[in-house]
Amino acid sequence: MRTKTKTKTWETMRRSARRILPALLLLGGVAAVLPFSNNASAASTAWGPERTTYTWAEPADKVTFNSITDNPKIGDERNFVRIRKANTEDTLVDKVELEVGQEYEVSIWFHNNAKSKLNTKEYGGVGIATDVRLRVEAPEIINAGTNGIIKGIISSTNSDPSEVWDIAYAYSKSTVLTRYVANSATIHSLGNIDGQILSSEAMFGEQGAKLGYWNDLWGTLPGCNEYSGYVTYRFVVDQPNFDISKTVSKEKEQNYVEKITVNPGDTLDFRIDYKNTGTINQKSIIVYDQMPNGLNYINGTSFFTASFNESGNFVSDKLFDGGINLGDYKPGESMYLTYKVEVADDKTIFPCGDTVVYNNASVATANGTGYDKVEITVHRDCTPEELPKTGPTEIVMALIVVTGIGVGGAYYIASRRQLNKISSK
C-alpha cells in the first residue's frame, strides 16, 4: 500500500509539474537558474568512481547520477562540487584561496541521468531513484600551505554506481578554521522542494541528507534534467589568533621594557598583555607566570584591566599556582595584568657583578598557548675592603718605627762584634 500511495502521489505531482515546466523551460530550463558554468574543467583525480558516461542527447538507460559529460550549463557533471566567495557573481570553480574572515559558498549539483520515459508506469518506474542522499565531508581545520578537501557524495539505493563523489579544494596560506553558517544548506530545484533547508547534522553525518523534488517525497528523484537541482551551503573562514607580551619596569617609573638592569632590594612592576587578534571568540583565557629564584612576588598586587573593564580590579594570587582565569574575549578585545615583585638582597643568589635571570609568562587558550619572557640583570656593586688610614701623623709614626728597627739592628750587630772580641782573648 505504501508503494502504491507513493506512485499515485508521484503521478499526480508529475502531471502538475508537466503543466508548469514548459513555461520554465522557455526561460532556459533548470540550467538557467543554476550558478554553475561549463567552463570549469574537472581534474581526472577529483571525482569518482570511474563509471559509464552519457551525453545530453543520449541519457542513461538506468538510474545513475552525474555522468553526463556535455551538460549545456555545467559541462562535465562528474565535476559537480564547486566553490566561490559568497555573495558574489564569481564563477564557481574547483579551487579557491581562502581569506580569513571571508564567507564562501559551496554548490553541489545532482542529476539522475535516467531517460524520462523510464519514469513511467509503462517501464515500471525503473528510472526513479530512491533514497537519494547527499553527504558532505569538509575539514574543520586547514593547515598552513595545504588544500582543504571538500567532498560531496551523492548516493541512492538503486543507482549504478550506488554513490558518486567529487571534490573541491580550499587552499590556505595560514592555519584556519572553517565554520558552517547555520541554516545555510539549501536545496534548489524546480519542484516545490525548492528553498528548503537541509539538516546540516544529516548532511555532514554518516547517512547524509535526503534530496528530492517534492516536499512529501524526500529521497525520491525521477530521471531527466527537469528534476535535477543543486544544494548550496556556506562557511566562514576563522582564524584563532592572539598576541601576548611580557614587560617589566622599575616601580613607579611606568617604563615597561623587555630587558632591564636592577639592584638587589629593588621593587619591580611586571605586566602581561593579551589581545585576541583572531576572528573567533576565545573563552576562559588562563594566564600563568613562572618567577625565577630571587624574585619574590608581593601578595595582593595582581591587578587586571581589560578593554571591557577599564577601571580594573585586583584578582587572585594564583598567578604562580595554577594560573588565573581572566574570562572570554571577542575578536579585538584585550587585557593586561600587572603585579609587583621584590628583588632579594641575597649575595648567594645575586653575588658581586651581574646576574641574569628570566621571568616567563604564558597565556593558554583553547586554540593554543602563547609564551613571552623578560630578561632581568641584577647588578651588585662590590668595593674592596677599606685599607688603614695613611695621613701625615701615621707616616711619621711609621718612619719612627722603621728607624727604630734600623737603630736596634745596628746596635745588635755592634754588640755582637764586641762580644766576639772579648771571647777571643
> pLDDT digit string (tens) for 282-330?
999 999 999 999 999 999 999 999 999 999 999 999 999 999 999 999 9
Question: In the prediction, which pLDDT does 40 show?
Answer: 52
Residue with cell 546540516: 200
Q: What values do phi and psi take at 158, rounded to 5?
A: -125, 20
Radius of gyration of the chain (CA): 42
Who has greater pLDDT, 217 or 424? Answer: 217
Provide mean pLDDT across the span 126-150.
96
Question: In the prediction, which pLDDT does 366 show?
Answer: 87
What's the pTM value of the predicted model, to 2 decimals?
0.70
Quick check: 105 and 233 in contact, CB under 8 A?
Answer: yes
The three grid cell numbers given for residue 371, joined into one nine-digit string = 609564551
Task: Label residue 108 by pLDDT band (50, 70, 90).
Answer: very high
Quick check: 244 and 252 in contact, CB under 8 A?
Answer: no
What's the CA gap between 130 and 153, in Å, rounded?
15
What's the CA gap between 195 and 181, in Å, rounded?
16
The three grid cell numbers given for residue 291, joined into one nine-digit string = 618567577
pLDDT in tens, 156-192: 999 999 999 999 999 999 999 999 999 999 999 999 9
Share of the chain above pLDDT 70, in %: 80
Question: In the prediction, which pLDDT does 358 show?
Answer: 97
β-strand partners of 250: 268
Q: For residues 47-68, b (16+ Cβ closer than 10 Å) or e, as one string?
A: bbeeeebbeeeebbbbbbbbbb
Element (H, E) at 330: none
The three grid cell numbers given for residue 318, joined into one nine-digit string = 594564583
Residue ranges per structural domain of the chain: 2-238, 242-380
Element (H, E) at 18: helix 2-26
Quick check: 166 and 154 in contact, CB under 8 A?
Answer: no
What's the CA gap between 78 and 81, in Å, rounded?
9
Domain 242-380, architecture per CATH: Sandwich (2.60)
pLDDT in tens, 344-384: 999 999 999 999 999 999 999 988 899 999 999 999 999 77
User: Positive or negative, the Cα torsion across 33, 71, 113, 231?
Assistant: negative
